[in-house]
């Protein structure tokens, strides 16, 4: 039997599936159970699999759906990424705004479904989920964070093979390697408050998410 989910979030990868529930629950929302979450997160295993007019059209027509959200990374081209996802949505939502609001898109699709888009980290800057998570680094750890960025860049200069696009990933994992305990995964760092999920810099995304899905 196919499960019916009223609230769905489409994402690029498995990190999103792990991180978002921890972040939202840490901000006072009961996420529910694995079988019955307050928002069901569907991983599309990469942006190219998600940015497809037929995929978005099919998702919008799912039985029992009330709200559909999409969360993607800006990577190195925020405007291009918005134009790309907007073009994919036009088949189903011809009146989608031309510009992505800084506070995230919340729109009503022609079939009455509430529809939203957020581009990590903040709908305007280059980056990704990991960039957004650096906003949650506690104030008292800023000196160590600056040093972690210097070390990651120096490693790159000495032949580390990560790409420039993934510098933000290298930075945060370097910083996490120096925490207690060392090397926690991103969702664990939120759950254990190594990252501060209530940091003011994270609240714009939290507000978008809660408003989109009607969560109190």
User: What is the SS3 assignment for 92-150?
Assistant: CCCCCCCCCCCCCEEEECCCCCEEEEEEECCCCCCECHHHHHHCCCCHHHHHHHHHHHH
Q: Do the beta carbons of residue 135 and residue 195 sit within 8 Å?
A: no
- Token digits of residue 86: 């907007």
Question: How would residue 215 be classed by pLDDT, with cut points 50, 70 and 90?
Answer: very high
pLDDT in tens, 61-75: 999 999 999 999 999
The structural domains of the chain, with segments of one domain joined by +, span 7-127+199-213, 129-191
Within the chain, what is the greatest distance between any pair of CA atoms? Answer: 54
DSSP three-state, residue 203: helix
Using a pLDDT cut of 90, give the percent of the chain over it: 96
pLDDT, mean of residues 8-22: 97
**pLDDT at 2 (0 to 100):** 62
Residues 6 or more apart whose CB falls under 8 angstroms from that of 31 comprise: 21, 24, 25, 37, 38, 39
Rounded percentage of the chain residues whose pLDDT exceeds 70? 99
pLDDT tens figures, 121-172: 999 999 999 999 999 999 999 999 999 999 999 999 999 999 999 999 999 9
Predicted TM-score (pTM) of the model is 0.95
Q: Which tens digits make up the pLDDT trace of 88-122? A: 999 999 999 999 999 999 999 999 999 999 999 99
H/E run at residue 41: strand 40-43
pLDDT of residue 1: 52
């Amino acid at each position: 039997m196919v499960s019916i989910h009223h609230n769905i979030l489409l994402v690029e990868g498995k990190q999103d599936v792990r991180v978002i529930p921890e972040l939202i629950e840490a901000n006072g929302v009961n996420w529910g159970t694995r079988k019955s979450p307050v928002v069901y997160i569907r991983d599309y295993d990469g942006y190219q699999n998600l940015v497809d007019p037929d995929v978005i059209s099919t998702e919008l027509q799912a039985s029992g759906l009330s709200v559909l959200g999409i969360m993607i990374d800006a990577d190195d081209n925020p405007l291009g990424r918005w134009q790309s996802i907007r073009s994919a949505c036009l088949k189903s939502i011809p009146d989608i705004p031309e510009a992505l609001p800084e506070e995230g898109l919340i729109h009503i699709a022609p079939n009455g479904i509430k529809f939203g888009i957020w581009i990590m980290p903040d709908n305007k800057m280059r980056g990704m989920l990991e960039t957004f998570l650096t906003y949650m680094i506690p104030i008292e750890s800023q000196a160590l964070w600056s040093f972690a960025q210097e070390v990651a860049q120096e490693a790159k200069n000495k032949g580390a093979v990560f790409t420039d696009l993934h510098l933000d990933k290298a930075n945060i994992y370097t910083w996490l390697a120096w925490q207690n305990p060392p090397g926690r995964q991103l969702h664990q760092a939120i759950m254990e408050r190594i990252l501060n999920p209530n940091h003011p810099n994270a609240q714009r995304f939290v507000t978008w998410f809660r408003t989109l899905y009607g969560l109190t």
